[in-house]
Structure 1
Amino acid sequence: MVAMVSAAGIGAGVAGLVLTWTSKDLLGLLAIIALVGIGQALALEVDDAGSISVSAVGCLAGAALFGPRASLALALASVAVEWSARRSEIHRVLFNMGALTLASLAAASVFKIGDLTPGGTEHRLAVAGLGLAAGAAYFAVNMGLLSVALALEGHERWWAVFKERFAWLLPHYLVYGFIGGVMALAYEAVKLFALGVFAVPLVLMRKTQEAYLKHTQRSAQKLRQAAETIQSQNVSLELANKLLKERSTAAMESLSATVDARDSYTAGHSRRVQQLALAIGRELGLSQAELDLLGHAALFHDIGKLAIPDAILLKPASLTQDEWALMQRHAEEGARIIDRLGFLNDAVPAIRHHHERFDGTGYPDRLGGEEIPLGARIIHVADALDSMLTTRIYRAARPAAEALAELRRAAGTQFCPRCVGALERILPLETLASDADRTPVVSVA
């Protein structure tokens, strides 16, 4: 791309010089070239988008006055001054020379249309009006080629680069073109005096651009600082939120342990149910995110028992109908407590429905089959196994083989068959039968 633009621009500039060469008014041509060099020396840096200078006015005036023969010389003057200030790489210098030459040739072609109008007022109006079109052509060629080069270098879309970096300059180049046309008309009338007269407004224009750019840069700096402040605050909020979640989770774990500790027979129950549930979940192929959620739900599945009086929770005899109704409320109470935390909302359904039966006769909502959340079905099986293997105040612990047989017998009515099957695969019968300890042996991956 760089080589093609450089070769095309320089080649076209040489052709224009050779084909349209005349020694007429060399002093005027040199004056325009000097004006372009001075304008480029006063160029304003525009962040990483390059620079903007009033040298384009001189290039456009030269295109109007001297046509294609001035294009290469004007581009060379502009690039030479820029290189002396910035010491750009040679390939960038050649690219800029090619692009500026092609832009000047495009502007000269537009001004050439003015030759078709008769002399006098109509000619002057045509040249002034064509200055706007010449400025647009100069802008389109120069900034278009630069946008394509930057897009290829940064692997971006050229149109996006053009809109973001250069589109805002179009009004400036329209004004440049108009002033260049008027300068050409004035030069025809008073020769070099016209260039001196127009030097003052060009300096004022440059001052205006400088003030505008400084204001824009200050505004951009303020926006960047505001963005950095917002980013810093977001990071602080994220850290605070993470700390709050960790402390809230720790507090809930302590409450869960407190529930288990109310009855010496159930100490550690929630932790064991969590381990069993996670092992079943892994066997069923749950994702890590789903396992994390299941772990929280299993750990807090009995948190609602905080609302159950000790007289009912620790009663050694059978519960009355009213007492049983109150005991059943612990699933709903637990869901309500966890829901209020705000960051474990997705664990709420598993906590609420971990006592639903597969045949639809459980509580609290009498859900059945696949209507019951999978997490709740897993916790139901893990909870039942640990309960049967644990000595309770109202009964002794059951043998491991008998507990697994009970789960298998109730699969499809009380328990989810998939979850029972997964439990059987991770807790082989012979392992349970030979387990001297009451705590289940779980193959945790």
Structure 2
Amino acid sequence: MFAFLATIATLGGIAAIESSLHGTLNLGADFLLMVVFACIAAPHTLNLGHNARISTVQPFMLAAIVLFGVREAMLLAAISLTYFWIVGRPRLPFYKAVFNVCNFVLAGWLGGHAFTAAGGRLGDVTSPGSLVGLLMSVLAFFVVNTGLVSIAVGLEQGIPPFRVWYEKYSWTINAQLAGGSLVILLGMLRQTFGAQVLFLTIPFCIMTYHFYKAYFPRASQKAHKT
């Protein structure tokens, strides 16, 4: 378990350093507003059992990747997850907080590179290349984020990681794709109405949280039957 956590922490640090060497951060008012909203959403997690939890930060990560860039997405992850560790009760052990931050940083890094590698252009949500890039980003973020958590929970609880992923996280792809749709809406409206459209993320995250809360028991029962 320690070796796995150390590996994720190291990879997260390498990803952060690599991104910091390419360009400068865009710390405009709209990005800072999104960081504030992400911090508000971060503590709203759902306990899935076996120390597995799911967060509502994902839409903010995707929006940051597409609208601002991978460096900004990684910064948003670091700030919001650190805030969650500070205000969350009961407070997570420090090593779990570090893992959560590095997990989201890695997922954001790979999701951002998947977006650009597939032809995505920063701030563009209408061209075919950017739409394909957004889909690739959603899938990359989903696989990395849920995969690493499943491995960590599996190692800690002595459960096969694939079983953890299948029972706890596989069904969340629906909400992840919905988050991608929200990014398209935000990107289109932002060009006309500016930063205030980011307020749309709040009701979406509330609905996502209640979707998780309502759907998880049924998804878990279905997974146990298969």
Identify the residue that residue 69 of structure 1 maps to in structure 2: 71
Structure 1 residue 103: deviation in Å?
0.5
Question: Separation in 2 of the partners of 1:184 and 1:148?
Answer: 34
Identify the residue that residue 11 of structure 2 maps to in structure 1: 8
Question: Separation in 1 of the partners of 2:22 and 2:58?
Answer: 24
Aligned pair partner of 2:29 in 1, 18, 27:
27
Higher relative contact order (CA 8 A, sep 6+): 2
Identify the residue that residue 387 of structure 1 maps to in structure 2: none
Question: Separation in 2 of the partners of 1:153 and 1:211?
Answer: 26
Q: In structure 2, the residue corresponding to 1:46 is in which secondary structure?
A: strand
Whether the 8 Å CA contact 2:56–2:205 is kept in 1: the answer is: yes
Q: In structure 2, the residue corresponding to 1:115 is in which secondary structure?
A: coil
Give TM-score, length-normalised by structure 2.
0.80
**Residue 115 in structure 1 maps to residue 118 in structure 2:** no
Q: 1:159 to 1:197 in 2, by over 3 A?
A: closer
Aligned pair partner of 2:84 in 57, 61, 82:
82
Q: In structure 2, the residue corresponding to 1:19 is in which secondary structure?
A: coil
Question: Separation in 1 of the partners of 2:176 and 2:168?
Answer: 15
Question: Separation in 2 of the partners of 1:68 and 1:164?
Answer: 30
Question: Separation in 1 of the partners of 2:66 and 2:149?
Answer: 23
Query: How many pairs align?
Result: 214
Give TM-score, length-normalised by structure 1.
0.43
**Residue 187 in structure 1 maps to residue 193 in structure 2:** no
Counterpart code for 2:54: I
Q: 1:104 to 1:188 in 2, by over 3 A?
A: farther
Counterpart code for 2:24: W
Farther-moved stretch of structure 1 (164-173 vs 179-188):
179-188
Question: Separation in 1 of the partners of 2:20 and 2:196?
Answer: 26
Question: Separation in 2 of the partners of 1:141 and 1:32?
Answer: 22
Percent same amino acid among aligned pairs? 22
Whether the 8 Å CA contact 1:147–1:159 is kept in 2: the answer is: yes
Larger gyration radius, structure 1 or structure 2:
1
Q: 1:10 to 1:31 in 2, by over 3 A?
A: farther
Aligned pair partner of 1:56 in 55, 58, 67:
58
Structure 1 residue 204: deviation in Å?
3.0
Q: Show structure 1 runs of 5+ residues with no match.
A: 224-445
Farther-moved stretch of structure 1 (39-48 vs 92-101):
39-48
**Residue 178 in structure 1 maps to residue 142 in structure 2:** no
CA RMSD of aligned residues (A): 2.8
Q: 1:188 to 1:52 in 2, by over 3 A?
A: farther
Question: Separation in 2 of the partners of 1:82 and 1:75?
Answer: 10
Identify the residue that residue 46 of structure 1 maps to in structure 2: 48
Question: Separation in 2 of the partners of 1:25 and 1:142?
Answer: 25
Question: Separation in 2 of the partners of 1:38 and 1:167?
Answer: 25
Counterpart code for 2:167: E
Structure 1 residue 144: deviation in Å?
1.1
Q: 1:148 to 1:42 in 2, by over 3 A?
A: closer
Aligned pair partner of 2:151 in 120, 144, 148:
148
Q: Show structure 2 runs of 5+ residues with no match.
A: none
Aligned pair partner of 1:127 in 124, 127, 130:
130
Whether the 8 Å CA contact 1:110–1:130 is kept in 2: the answer is: yes
Identify the residue that residue 271 of structure 1 maps to in structure 2: none
